[in-house]
Structure 1
Amino acid sequence: MSLPLPPIAPYCVLWIVAIPIGAMATPQPLWLVANVMNGFIAVPT
């Protein structure tokens, strides 16, 4: 009984990959904003 991944799963993977890369690529507060957004997205899951 294997269900397909929920639509949020690809975004979770994307965030897990994008947050560290974004933090290294942009030494600016933008990574902090992205991290906060990641927190808001992770709450409902």
Structure 2
Amino acid sequence: MFYPLQDSDFLSFQNTFDLFSHTLSTFSTSARLSQNTDVFYGNHSRK
């Protein structure tokens, strides 16, 4: 069976969730990269 309203609601929810998780993963990745950079340069400045 085909339910247009439910399908479109689910699709919009999935798109919103995908966008949210993409933003979240991008943010956490950049945060992790900056942390690694701080550790990397911190170790070198100590040596």
Q: TM-score w.r.t. structure 2 length? A: 0.35
Return the structure number with greater relative CO, CA threshold 8 A, min gap 6: 1
More helix by share: 2
